[in-house]
Structure formats: structure tokens, C-alpha cells
Structure 1
Amino acid sequence: MFQEYDVIVVGAGHAGCEAAAAAATMGSSVLLITMNMHTIAQMSCNPAMGGVAKGQIVREIDALGGQSGIVSDKTMIQFRMLNLSKGPAMWSPRCQSDRVRFAEEWRSILENNPNVDFWQDTAKNIIVEDGKACGVVTSLGIEIRSKAVVLTNGTFLNGLIHIGEKNFGGGRTGEKSATGLTEQLVTLGFEAGRMKTGTPPRVDGRSLDYSKMEEQPGDENPAKFSYTDTKPLAKQRSCWITYTNQEVHDVLKTGFEKSPMFSGRIKGLGPRYCPSVEDKINRFADKDRHQIFVEPEGWDTVEVYVNGFSTSLPEDVQYAALRKIPGFENAKMFRPGYAIEYDYFPPTQLKSTLETHLVKNLFFAGQINGTTGYEEAACQGLMAGINAHRNVNDLDPFVLKRSEAYIGVLIDDLINKGTEEPYRMFTSRAEYRTLLRQDNADLRLTEKGYEIGLASDERVEAVRTKKRETEEIIAKLNATKLTPDEINPALEAIGTAQIREKIAVAQLLRRPQISINQLLESSPVVNELLSEYGHDSVQQAEINLKYDSYIEKEMLLVEKMNKLENLAIIENFNYDGVTSLSFEGREKLKRTRPSTIGQASRISGVSPSDISVLMLYIGR
């Protein structure tokens, strides 16, 4: 009935979709197994993509040739660039998405890839022969063979949903959980754990009084995620902000004794940076209110997502508390919020390719690795799909360094440090964040995506054009000088020091008070100079000029670190034979099996002296 596939992807969430699309685009035959063909790329939680650090990840996925940025652009209903008051390293794109259209667009992309087949079923077991993943067995008892398997099970592995004192099996509301896989993987020697996440109630937007809320419109000139020719938004829908109050908190507290979190019925740890509303009022008892973001779920629906009100309290308590929020006095609830517990596998059991140490050609991506967030899942799926394809074609692994991408930071953190709570990406996790900006993801990564057969000819040509134009603009700005008469009136209006002699435009632009847009508006010379160039190239040149000293310092740090990254450790290195290693260091190194000295230096429990010993030993 089934051919042998190059890659089987289990699960069609954000990780599974990117994995299937990447492997198939690169030439592998792919089977995507999902419980429900109608929930491919379902946005299970909030209908949004991007945000602080997450937006950088979406840009990186797009730069490599992935699809999340394109899907986001085609289905967004609002766009905002966050942190514009800070430096470019902090700028983060974010959009509100149309939940239904997002899933439809993803399904269309996959269905239009001739290398992707689909099967609606549940994978019960992995076929393992001679230490290699060779396919799956489904709940119908069907054996489907493949050369590699990518597991992207999300919250479905032994998923348990909690609402107050009620709990029932499920991967998300209305869908059953997946059983069998965890138990098999444990018998194979894998370590498993439990985590939890939650989601807020959904309400009827027609029942809300927006006059009591603060409007949060999109950007006046909205940008987009993809570096391709997707179109920016011509119209947008607003979001809204309101707040909880003491009355809301008092109502919520009446349900605490029935809370699965406080009663101990939930064992798994939840996301630290996205706590439930009951957790917030318990942990931050000194705060008399908490922000609530009121987010529409699409163009053609009245359903609203109540961001900031994630909860697993009894539904009657949720409803009563909601109606105490300003603007929600007459709210009608579509469905209650809930918490979900699920199995995950500590990611220290993975290689930097996301292939498992224990079973060759078996890859894990997404929440199965202990992460939270669509963007974190999608980038793992992309990397797992790439490396599954490369494995079955006997090609070298594709790994991104911490200095090359937030994706590299995320995977490096996971495999070396592990995580005991849902891992979420932040700009603070990246030590080279001045280099890893959202504006330059294409310059950093598209050539790499092109070399592995994922990014298209059109993408790489666009990047080469942008790079050439950026260099031309910088050269012109350095060569062109403005006289005091030409620019002083504008400098006075801006509130920065006037000049007494001719000065290069580039030198003026290095002043923190001056932007390229201000120079374009106030100087006909600059306007004519840059008239032939596109916005992206001009912005890139401005950022490179303003932050060249910071960028140079980080590049020097990268060069130093790369010396350690280039010191390879053979795959079956005998750590027991190095008696000078500390006991803890030896155990951690044996468990993680780092591929380089640089990676070994970032493993929790491996000391600097252990690294010195290893370097001496490898030197011999």
C-alpha cells in the first residue's frame, strides 16, 4: 500500500510542517502523518507570530528557505515592529494572524509540493532495526517504512487536559492524545519527563465593550516577515488592551482550592514567562492589576483570544472573573481556558542536528524537546527536516552556530543545557545579538540555505543585490559631504549640534539623534543620492554605519570562540580514558557527546579545568 519514504514526519503542527516542507523541497519523498487533516498548522494558542526574539527566528526560517514567514505575511491581520525605541538588535517583528487562513495556507503549500504525501492516523511505534529508525507502525497496525523519522508530537504524547477538578485525555481541546510512543521510547533507553502549558478562554467579540479599552492599532507603514515578494498589509484590524482588577482577583481566588495547579494534580512545570492568571495573582500579590490583550482571531470571525488570561480554573469561576474585567461585563464565552500536561524528552539526548544519540535517523523537533512557542517549534522542524534529508543522502550535517542565528542559540541551549521548564527564546539568551538582528537574517543565512538546496535562485539573487546596494550606499555616504548651510537648519530642528565645516553624511548618520529618514526629508543631496535604492538596502546601510564599532567588537568575540568551535571531538571519544576529568564533567560529557570543544564548554557541570584537560588530550 505504501512506498518506502525517505522521511516520515509524525505530527503536522508548526514543527512538522516546516520539517516536511524542507525535506520535500530538497528532494526527499516525505510522508506527513497527522491525526486530523483539518488541523494542519493549527494555531493552538494565540493567533500570532513573532515577537521579541521570536520575530528574529521567523525571519531566519524565511532566510533559509522555510515557509513560516511567507504564511504569516499572507494571513496576517495586523503587523507591529516591537522595540523601535531601542537599538536594531532589539527590533522584533510581530503579527496578528487569521487563525483559519494560516492553517489553510500551510496546507496549500504542503499539498502543492509533489514530494509530500499525507496519511491521517496516529503513529504508535517507531520501527527500529540495528539501532536505526526504519519507519513507523500506526494505530491501524500499518507498517510504513522510511529511511528517517522526525517526531513532532507537540502536546499530544499522553496529553492530559485540566479544567478545575475535571481532567481528561487530549492533545488539545476536542482532540485525543497519542499513546504508545513514550512507552516504547523509554524501553529503548530514552529519558522522559512531563511539562504543562495552558490557554485562555475564547469569547464572542460582539459581546465586548471596546470603548472601555485602549486601542492598539498596527504600524502606520506595516513591514512583513518574508524577504520574498509577499505584499505588506493594506488594511489592518486593531487589538485592544484592558486590565484585571482586585475584583477579578478576588473571584479567581474562590477557585484556587479547585485549581489543578495549586492542588498538585498537575505535576509538570509550566512556562515561566507565560504564567496562568491564577499563578500571576499568587506570585505577584503586590500587583493590583495585570494587562489583558484582546486579540481578534481573524478577518471574518467574531472569536476573540484573551491574551494574559490563561487559566485552568473551573469554567464557572473563569466566566465570573472575566465579567469583572472592564469591557467584558457582558462577555459571552465560546470555550473555557485549560491547562494541558504532556510528555517531553530532555533534549540533552539529541545531537546538534536534532538526531537522537540512541537511535540513528530518528529526530525530535518542537515541544517534544521541551520548548514552547510556534516559532521555536518551526525552526526546530526546519533543522530536523534539513538534517533528516541530509542523513538519508549521506551528506554532512547542517548546523548553525550561536554566532550565526538565534536558531543556533536555541538548539545549542537545548542540547547542552537541557530544560526542565518550557524553553522560550529571548534576545538575552544570545550573546551575539548585535549580529543576529531581524534586518540581516537574509545576509546571514540565505547563501547557506541556497547551498543546501532549500533557498531558491530568486532568494539568493535578491540577497546579493541587497548586499551590493548596501555597500554602494555606505561608500556614497562616506564620500558625500554636506556644508553647514545645507544641513544646519535641519540639525537645529532635530536638536543636535550644528556643524562648522563640511562633513561626510556617514559621519552625521553615526549621531544617535539622526536617522536616515530625517536626512532624506531635510537634504535634497541625500535624497537624490539614495533615490535609486530600495528601503531595505538603505535601512541596512544605516544600521551598519551606526553600529559598526559594536558589530566589530562582536565579530572579534566570535573569532575567539570559533577557535574552540573548530576543535572537533570524535563521535565515540572515550571520556573514561581521560582520568583527569572531574567525575561530574565526565558523566555530562558522556551523556551529551559534544562534537566540539566549544560545545563541551557550554555544558552545565563541565568546568573550565575539564576543558583544559580535554584540549591538552586532543592536542596530544
Structure 2
Amino acid sequence: MDFKYDVIVIGAGHAGCEAAVAAANLGSKTCLITMDMNKIAQISCNPAVGGIAKGQIVREIDALGGQMGLVTDQTAIQFRILNRSKGPAMWSPRAQCDREKFIWAWREKLDHTPNLHIWQDTVRELLVENGEVVGLITLWGVTFHAKCVIMTAGTFLNGLMHIGRNQLPGGRMAEPASYHLTESIARHGITYGRMKTGTPARVDKRSVNFDLMENQAGEIDFHKFSFMNNKVRQLKQLDCWTCYTTEESHQVLRSGLADSPMYNGQITSIGPRYCPSVETKIVTFPDKNQHQLFLEPEGETTNELYLNGFSSSLPMDIQIAALKKIPAFKDLVLYRPGYAIEYDYFDPTQLTHTLESKIIKNLFFAGQMNGTTGYEEAGGQGLVAGVNAHINCHGGQPFTLARDEAYIGVLIDDLVIKGVDEPYRMFTSRAEYRILLRMDDADVRLTERAYQLGLATRERYDLLKTKQEAVEQIIAFAQNYSMKPDLINGALEQIGTTPLRQGCKLIEILNRPQVTFDNITKHIPAFQELLAKATSATPGREEEVLEAAEILLKYQGYIDRERMIAEKLARLESIKIRGKFNYSSLQSLSIEARQKLTQIDPETIAQASRIPGVSPSDINVLLVLCGR
């Protein structure tokens, strides 16, 4: 059999699903190939979406017309905003989801996407002619021809699972690994390596003593992931719980280290620094006698719970014995133990910022195959790869995102310029412009671009413009409305801030840390009238509009300063250097700079400046050679 498509996506995880929907919605005839149609968009580890910086990525995916935010809102069983004690640049949404409902919500999205077909099979070999991908062959001997291929195989390439000294081939528990494909890619000169990740035990809720744990409830307010979702939570909202390991449990864990794949030489690949196994914690921090654990629901009705913080590949009996030394888990029953998994990844410095291979034309890579970890990082990459695969098929300018434009832009730039030496996880600290990349303004930053591409609908575009107009009206009111002391002093004293001695503009009061729209404007009848009028075209979004206006009023100085810095540095992004120099012959550059510049071949001076090992003096040499 022989099939023909514009775009073929290999792997139906979070990167693959976003890539396939993006390419198909733009008009490319697309096929998504997956080993199991019942495990599409599986939230393989914790069934949670978002978190610090990751939540911002989901908001960006949504603003660009992606699906992750909508699916998360539809299947959330707990929602929280993290980092509320900090400024809005650090606020990050996170949702615990129903694992099974998440899969089927995604499957419904795929089934109802025009131009998109699904094929259940395993890809065995890429077809490459004259340095350009032209298709693939599956394990069942089916040939697919395509103008572009997107690789999103996650942890399945030569996947190997570990529990103690036991090893089992697989990409996830009870799911087979994918063989031959890595070698099929590598024979064309694309380099790869091995990484490791892991997952904790799954716990039976009926065996837990919750009286010995601390409850962690979710939040019920207007916040959500998708701008297009204007509904309350659709599923029953559930609690999470926290407790701590004990010194007795640590003693049991230490007794099993000789059989730990992490410490007996069985696993040699690199694991995630920021999501360490519990055995890594007790070895790295021997002076700590406890580590926090989070017990989180896997679904709306199931008894299965996820034990966050206890990722492990220790022998099964050691894991169980250690957990039973924790008071709340004295009578613990498991569904399955934790395990580690090793898998192949490909060096992302071999990609351009469109995520296309520099070596094989029209071949794209996205997700964990690029050395990242996390559903959100994968989804962001998948969307960018899907858009650019469509562009390669039908024409248009490459679609890339700058570091001051999106966390997705920071992610991809870090991958292709700096590469990875461990599984890459996004944090707010990786973004130098995080005041510009807030969760509340993702749509303002990106919807215009998505609309021009054809990913964002006219409905979404018009709704955003209406919201922006409402925000501008509120800001103008605050800047111009004069407050009288007798009207507001009682409220100011009630919230613990100094009363007015004379009249002032509302914006001056709002700039006080204790003052918010919520606790002050109910005393201003004129404001209530304005708010009702300004949001009449966006019913149900009053709180969302107020939050956006308040952030812009309170933080405008910081936002303006960061924008100015970004614009100055953007000048270096305009200085193109790819193809201009034979770096190995430039003796005025350091040896390391010559090697790194030759390997990565940056597009601009700004990209060159972010390569580890390329010093400011090396950049000055390049600027001089460019005539600057």
C-alpha cells in the first residue's frame, strides 16, 4: 500500500497532536501515525498540565490556536495559580486533569479536525532522497509519501524501562518501544544520545490514612487556560494532599541503593535535574531527614492516586517497604511501582529555529526527541513544527518566535543555540523578559500572529480586540478620575493603608501595594457604571478585564523598561551572519568559539552571543568583520 500526504506526524503525544492539528487546520493534508489510538496525548507521568513557566506556555499554545488549553480546561479536576505571593510575571496556572477524559477529549479534537487522518502503526524507516525526506515505511510494510515529516516519538525510540535490576523494553509501562527508526535517521548524519526519565508509584486511595496528611484544595475563580473557554469547571473538583518522607523510610531507600539502576551502573544516561528520583534526593541531600510528597488524583472517579515526589527505579520491594515507613501509608496498597525509562534523543543544535533539520530538508523534530521534558514544552514545539511544515509545503515566510515574544521562543532558542546536556525543563528564570511574557497577556502577544497565519479564528480575534478596548477604557478612567478623601478614606483605613489628605487620581492609589481594583472600586459608583458598559460585549469576563488593566497600571514602568531593553538587543537579531564566515579560519576567535560557531552556524549575531563558549570579545570580532 502507498499513501500520499502533505505532512506526516510520527507519534501522537502532546507534540504530535499539536503539530498535526496545526498543519491540518492551515490546510495541509495531514496524517498522524500512532502505535495506539487509545493512548493519544497520554499524560504519561503526572496527569497535570501547567506549573511554573509551563502554564504560560499552555496559554501561548492557546493564543496561537493550539488545543492543549481547551482540553485541559475541559478535563481539569483541580485548578490553581502558583506563585500568587510574587508578582504577575511569576504567576503560573496549573491543573490536575482526569487522565482518561484528557485522552478522549484530545481524540475528539483530532477526529473533528478537517484534513487530518490517523493511522495506527509503528514507523520503521525514513525515506530520504538527495538530502530531503520523501516519506516513510511502517512496521506493517505500508509506504507513506509526504512533502514534510515531523518526528515526535517521545520516549519510545529504543525505550528501556528499569525497576531495580529488572529491565524491560518499552516506551511506557505495558507499551512497546520503537526500534530501527533511530538508526534510520542516524545513518544520514544526525547525531543522537540517550536520556532518562522516571515516574512514581501509583497508589490505591482506599489504603491511605488522609487524617495524617495535609489537605491542599484547588481554587474556584475566573482563571483558566483557554481564552476561548468561558465556562465554569466542568468536572467535579478534587483535593490533593501533602506529607513527608521520614528518616526510617530513608534508611530503607539507602538499603536498596546497591540494586538501584541509577547507582549500580545499569543506567548511564542523563536524568532530569529538576525532577530527581527519591533515591537521588537522599544521596544528594544526606543531611535532610524528610522530603515533601504530593498525593494527587488521577481522575474524577478512580481510586488511583499519583505520588508526586517519589519518582524511583529502586526494586519494587524497597519502594513498598520505604513507603510503609511513612505514617499515612502504613497500610499502603499500590497499583504499580515507580520505574525509570531510557530513550533516544537527537541533538537539537542540528535544527533551525523552525525546528527543521539542518541536515535533512523537510524533516522536523519536536518534543522529548529534542531533549526536553514536559507536556507543555512538547506541545509548544509541536505547534511551531506543524506550522512550519505546512509553510514548507505551501509557501510563506518561516514562523519563529523571539525570546521577548513567547516562552516558546525562549525554549526553542535555548534548544537550537545552546543544546542540552540534561532533559530541558522551562522555568521563569530562563526568560530574560519574563515581565513581558506573563500568563495574562499571552493572547495580546500572539493572537495577531496566529490570526495572520490562519490558526486563530475571526471570533477569537474580535473577542480579543473587544477585551483590549475594555481594558483601555478602565486604564483611562484610573488615569483621569479624581478621588476625594471623604469617599475613599474609610476603605483605605480598612485595608491598612494611609488615608488621603487631599484629592488625587485613582491611579496613584492603585499603585499602593495593598490596593487593588477588587478592594477599592466598589466604593466608586462611577467606576461600576464604566465597568458594566466596558464589558457589556464580553459578558463573564469582568474579572479577567480588571486583572489585565490592574497589571498594566501597576507594572507599566517595569514593562516599558524591559521592552526598551528587548528592542535594543533586537538590533543584534537583525545582523545576519549565516553563510558569511568560515569560522575555522578566523584566528582572532577563540578555539572554542570557532568550534561552536561552526557546529551551530547561528543565523544572527544575537544568536551567536547566546552560544555557551562564545565570549563577548568573540562577538566584538564578528561585529568588526560585519563592518559594525
Interval of TM-score (by shorter of Structure 1 and Structure 2):
over 0.9
1:375 paired residue number: 376
Amino-acid identity (%):
56
- Which amino acid counterpart does residue 433 of structure 1 have in structure 2? R
- Which amino acid counterpart does residue 250 of structure 2 have in structure 1? H
State the secondary structure of the residue aligned to 2:474. Answer: helix
Point out where structure 2 has 5 or more consecutive residues left out of the alignment.
Answer: 536-541
CA deviation string 1:268-316 (max 9, x = no partner) = 1111011001111111111111111110101121111111110001111
CA deviation string 1:505-541 (max 9, x = no partner) = 1111111111110113343343333233322222111
Is 1:596 matched with 2:608?
no
Answer yes or no: is the 8 Å Cα contact 1:519–1:526 preserved in 2: no
> TM-score, length-normalised on structure 2?
0.97
Q: Where do 1:163-562 residues align within 5 Å?
A: 163-221=163-221, 223-233=223-233, 235-532=236-533, 533=535, 534-562=542-570
Distance 1:568 1:226, change over 3 A: same
Equivalent residues, number: 620
1:565 paired residue number: 573
TM-superposed CA distance for 1:250, in Å, is 1.2
- Which amino acid counterpart does residue 377 of structure 2 have in structure 1? E
Answer yes or no: is the 8 Å Cα contact 2:151–2:365 preserved in 1: yes
2:92 paired residue number: 92
Farther-moved stretch of structure 1 (572-581 vs 147-156): 572-581
State the secondary structure of the residue aligned to 2:185. Answer: helix
State the secondary structure of the residue aligned to 2:487. Answer: helix
CA deviation string 1:554-580 (max 9, x = no partner) = 011011111001112345754346453
Answer yes or no: is the 8 Å Cα contact 2:11–2:154 preserved in 1: yes
2:538 paired residue number: none
Farther-moved stretch of structure 1 (471-480 vs 434-443): 471-480
Matches of 1:25 and 1:238, distance apart in 2: 37
Matches of 1:358 and 1:580, distance apart in 2: 28
Farther-moved stretch of structure 1 (157-166 vs 468-477): 468-477
- Which amino acid counterpart does residue 320 of structure 1 have in structure 2? A
Matches of 2:201 and 2:28, distance apart in 1: 41
Matches of 1:578 and 1:317, distance apart in 2: 57
1:68 paired residue number: 68
Matches of 1:322 and 1:17, distance apart in 2: 36
Answer yes or no: is the 8 Å Cα contact 1:222–1:233 preserved in 2: no
CA deviation string 1:98-146 (max 9, x = no partner) = 0000010111100111211111111111111111111111112222100
State the secondary structure of the residue aligned to 1:327. Answer: helix
Matches of 1:574 and 1:386, distance apart in 2: 32
- What root-mean-square deviation, in Å, do the aligned CA atoms of Structure 1 and Structure 2 show? 1.4
Answer yes or no: is the 8 Å Cα contact 2:73–2:229 preserved in 1: no
Distance 1:467 1:483, change over 3 A: same
2:136 paired residue number: 136
> TM-score, length-normalised on structure 1?
0.98
Is 1:614 matched with 2:622?
yes
Farther-moved stretch of structure 1 (589-598 vs 443-452): 589-598
State the secondary structure of the residue aligned to 1:201. Answer: strand
Point out where structure 1 has 5 or more consecutive residues left out of the alignment.
Answer: none
Matches of 2:527 and 2:588, distance apart in 1: 64
Answer yes or no: is the 8 Å Cα contact 2:222–2:543 preserved in 1: no
- Which amino acid counterpart does residue 605 of structure 1 have in structure 2? G
1:586 paired residue number: 594
Farther-moved stretch of structure 1 (384-393 vs 579-588): 579-588
Answer yes or no: is the 8 Å Cα contact 1:588–1:606 preserved in 2: yes
Answer yes or no: is the 8 Å Cα contact 2:79–2:220 preserved in 1: no
Answer yes or no: is the 8 Å Cα contact 1:80–1:222 preserved in 2: no
State the secondary structure of the residue aligned to 2:307. Answer: strand
Matches of 1:401 and 1:108, distance apart in 2: 32
Matches of 1:593 and 1:468, distance apart in 2: 44
Matches of 1:610 and 1:445, distance apart in 2: 34
Farther-moved stretch of structure 1 (136-145 vs 378-387): 136-145
Matches of 1:483 and 1:522, distance apart in 2: 11
Matches of 2:68 and 2:485, distance apart in 1: 48
Farther-moved stretch of structure 1 (176-185 vs 442-451): 176-185
Farther-moved stretch of structure 1 (527-536 vs 552-561): 527-536
- Which amino acid counterpart does residue 238 of structure 1 have in structure 2? D
